[in-house]
Amino acid sequence: MLLLNLAVIPDSCVTQIKHFGPGWQKDFYNIMEDYKHNVFPGKVNGVTKEWEFQNEHWETDYAEFVKRQIEKDLDIVEETEEW
């Protein structure tokens, strides 16, 4: 299951995983807890952000982001017009 979600796990956390032998999940959990409490909190565009799990807000925000990126990618626009 982890491999399905690697895109949303910060590189700084993934690189701290030393092994995938027995017990690696406990190490990973501790790494992510440290990230959530000590690294993630901060200001984004002047707004203090707190850690949130995936929710409808983030899914809608991501769908809008993808739409904007598609509109910027001329190759995708041309391919869409061909269909």
pTM: 0.50
Query: In the prediction, which pLDDT does 36 show?
Result: 81
Using the predicted structure, report yes or no on whether residue 12 has a pLDDT greater than 90.
Answer: no
Using the predicted structure, report yes or no on whether residue 28 has a pLDDT greater than 80.
Answer: yes
Using the predicted structure, report yes or no on whether residue 18 has a pLDDT greater than 80.
Answer: yes
Distance CA 68, CA 72 (A): 6
Other C-beta atoms closer than 10 Å to the C-beta of 77 total 12
Structure tokens at 20: 């995938």
φ, ψ at 35 (rounded to 5°): -60, -50
Amino acid at the residue 41:
P
